[in-house]
Amino acid sequence: MEEKELVQRTIQGDEQAFGVLVNKYKTKVFNLAFGLTRDREIADDLAQEVFIKVYYALEKFKFKSAFGTWLYRIAVNHIRDHLRKTKKMKHIPFEDVHKESRLSEEESNRRESSREKERKIQLLHRALQTLPKKHQIILTLRDIQGHSYEEIASILKLSPGTVDSRLHRARKMLREKIAPFLTQRGGTHEM
């Protein structure tokens, strides 16, 4: 069954049709939320809230874009609102991240490579959380979720040129935060 038909059936009250849409997109929405919050419970809750919003907004969906793009737009806005509300709670000064990373580096010699990879991810995500929201979101959409420039432009309602410049700005900011740590061991890039 096509998405358009599933959407129309959902509007007419067919909850099972909505269930099909949810099962198709739940992982993507959850991963987007997890990528930006790094908390499984919060990501789960946010994903549920996104689908509730989508359910009640379906009547307004005019098929001007793909359903997935429209859903992603709602998800990004909802998660961005959540991040804005919890900004004070979640904010970790990057100095603390760096300090923790040094400890991680000392331990890293004794630990396995999978743990090393996990630490890299944690460091990157903590650094990511210190970036402005718009940069966090564009990095998550492109570098974590792998969306194309066109999809990102459509989701965020930006021109492709703005996507390009914002993405490179975001990468540059993240690299500058991570770089002192990366070069700590006498010029090697081990973390």
Partner 1 sequence: MKCKRAETLISRALDGLLTSEEEEALQRHLKECPACQKRKEEYSIMTETLRDQDFPQVKPDFWERLYNRLEEQREYDIWSLWKRWSLRAVPLSIAAVVILALGLVLFLPQPKYELNQTETLLLQDRLPYPEPLTFLEEEGAENKSMQIIFTAMEERRDTRRYFP
Query: Which of 149, 162, 173, 184 touches partner 1 by CB under 8 A?
Result: 149
171-190: contacts with partner 1 (CB under 8 A): 171-172, 174-175, 178-179, 182-183, 187, 189
Residue with tokens 């970036």: 131
Binding letters toward partner 1, positions 2-31, x by CB under 8 A: -------------x---x--xx--xx--xx
Task: Give the distance, in angstroms, between the CA of residue 42 and the centroid of all CA atoms in the same chain.
Answer: 13
**And the tokens for 167?**
């993405």
Using CA atoms, how far residue 1 sits from 6, 18, 21, in Å, is 7, 12, 10
* Among candidate residues 2, 23, 18, 29, the one with its CA nearest the CA of residue 59: 18
Residues 136 and 128: their CA atoms lie apart, in Å, by: 6
Q: Is 124 a binder of partner 1 (CB under 8 A)?
A: yes
Residue with tokens 């210190």: 130
The backbone torsions φ and ψ at residue 65, rounded to the nearest 5 degrees and listed phi first, read -130, 175
By C-beta, is 80 or 171 nearer to partner 1?
Answer: 171
Considering the complex, what minimum distance in angstroms separates the CB of residue 191 from partner 1?
Answer: 8
Q: Is 143 a binder of partner 1 (CB under 8 A)?
A: yes
Q: Which stretch binds partner 1 (CB under 8 A): 63-71, 79-87, 104-112, 136-144?
A: 136-144
Q: Is 115 a binder of partner 1 (CB under 8 A)?
A: no
For residue 95, count other CB atoms closer than 10 A to its CB.
Answer: 9
Considering the complex, what minimum distance in angstroms separates the CB of residue 178 from partner 1?
Answer: 6
How many chain residues are in contact with partner 1, going by CB under 8 A? 41
Using CA atoms, how far residue 13 sits from 7, 8, 122, in Å, is 10, 9, 43
Q: Which residues bind partner 1 (CB under 8 A)?
A: 15, 19, 22-23, 26-27, 30-31, 34-35, 40, 44, 47-48, 51-52, 55, 117, 120-121, 124, 139, 142-144, 146, 149, 164, 167-168, 171-172, 174-175, 178-179, 182-183, 187, 189, 191
